[in-house]
């Protein structure tokens, strides 16, 4: 079961989505220096303080609209993922097919499931994210591909009788995401310093994951799961800060993808941790009974 869970983690997609380009802060909209010219008989110009106030107000309005669009798309992505996962878990034919794939341990087939999300992400990163309506179509394809991977993991867990762990992982992920997001949005702290550490840690996680294909012991135990969960908690802090401060107003597709991948990967690593704890508990009971 650990093999099935680790193979479906789309950390490589997250690594493609982040760190590929630096985004500059969107400049505040310019205001006319003669905004008030003509008023009161044409006497007087907008003073410096008024101009700055209008700029700040305009940028805050644009940023609020950007946040609404990003989190609206994110809600749609998560809804699709949950719906698709529930369908696969509760449909015997699909669930049994995924269980056979997990037991056969055919990592090539599992890798093939990641192709739709990786291909769509590649197109989005090469300029398609700015072309409507192709960007929404590719975003849907990307989300469906990631949802298929999540459905695979959850279906196997459900078939093995670990449905309660899926619900626990889901609840824990929601609680962590809401808490960290609220902390970033309302604290006003600068989390830019996390960028370099997170990219380095993510590459290490990806290399260990690829190595685990040939040496499964690399990803066994609680350490790998806790490391992954901690990294993506950090990414939620970092990416939420970037959404609030750094992303351009027209870069809502890229922002949505990054925060979506943070949530999905956090869920999968928390599920891995719970699976390991469950397995350790079962082993202790067996030892005591002997």
Domain membership flag for residue 133? yes
Residues 6+ apart with CB under 8 A from 172: 270
Average pLDDT of span 228-237:
94
- Whether the bond between 133 and the residue before it is cis, its omega within 30 degrees of 0, is yes
Q: How far apart are CA 102 and CA 78, in angstroms?
A: 24
Q: Is 14's pLDDT higher than 60?
A: no
Average pLDDT of span 46-63:
61
- The per-residue pLDDT for 1 is 43
Domain membership flag for residue 60? yes
Q: Is 4's pLDDT higher than 90?
A: no
Average pLDDT of span 223-252:
89
pTM score of the predicted model = 0.77
Among residues 107, 77, 90, the alpha carbon closest in space to that of 155 is found at: 90
Average pLDDT of span 247-268:
89
Q: How far apart are CA 42 and CA 39, in angstroms?
A: 5
Q: CB–CB of 239/185 below 8 Å?
A: no
Q: In this structure, what DSSP letter does residue 275 have? A: H
Q: Is 71's pLDDT higher than 60?
A: yes
- The per-residue pLDDT for 37 is 42
Among residues 234, 231, 225, 229, the alpha carbon closest in space to that of 273 is found at: 225
- The per-residue pLDDT for 60 is 77
Domain membership flag for residue 111? yes
Which range marks the domain in which residue 148 is found?
A: 2-14+46-282
Q: Is 51's pLDDT higher than 60?
A: no
> Residue with structure tokens 């007087």?
44
List, as own/partner pairs, every contact residues 128-131 make where C-beta atoms lie below 8 angstroms and the sequence separation is at least 24, other chains included: 129/251, 129/253, 129/254, 130/250
Total number of domains in the chain: 1
């Amino acid at each position: 079961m650990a093999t099935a869970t680790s193979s479906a983690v789309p950390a490589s997609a997250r690594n493609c989505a982040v760190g590929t380009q630096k985004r500059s802060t969107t400049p505040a909209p310019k205001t006319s220096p003669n905004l008030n010219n003509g008023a009161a008989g044409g006497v007087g110009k907008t003073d410096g303080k008024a101009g700055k106030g209008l700029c700040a107000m305009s940028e805050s309005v644009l940023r609020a609209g950007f946040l609404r669009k990003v989190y609206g798309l994110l809600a749609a992505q998560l809804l699709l993922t949950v719906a698709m996962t529930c369908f696969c878990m509760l449909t015997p034919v699909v669930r049994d097919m995924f269980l056979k794939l997990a037991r056969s341990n055919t990592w090539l087939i599992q890798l093939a499931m990641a192709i739709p999300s990786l291909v769509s992400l590649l197109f989005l990163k090469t300029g398609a994210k700015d072309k409507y309506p192709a960007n929404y179509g590719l975003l849907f394809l990307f989300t469906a591909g990631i949802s298929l991977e999540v459905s695979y993991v959850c279906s196997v867990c459900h078939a093995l009788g670990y449905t309660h762990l899926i619900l626990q992982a889901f609840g824990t992920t929601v609680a962590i995401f809401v808490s960290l997001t609220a902390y970033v949005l309302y604290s006003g702290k600068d989390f830019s310093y996390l960028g370099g550490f997170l990219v380095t840690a993510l590459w290490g996680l990806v290399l260990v994951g690829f190595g685990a294909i040939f040496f499964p012991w690399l990803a066994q135990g609680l350490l790998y799961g806790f490391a992954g969960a901690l990294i993506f908690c950090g990414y939620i802090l970092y990416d939420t800060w970037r959404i609030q401060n750094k992303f351009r107003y027209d870069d809502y597709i890229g922002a949505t993808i990054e925060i979506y991948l943070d949530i999905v990967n956090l869920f999968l690593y928390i599920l891995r941790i719970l699976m390991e704890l469950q397995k350790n508990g079962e082993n202790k009971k067996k030892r005591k009974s002997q």
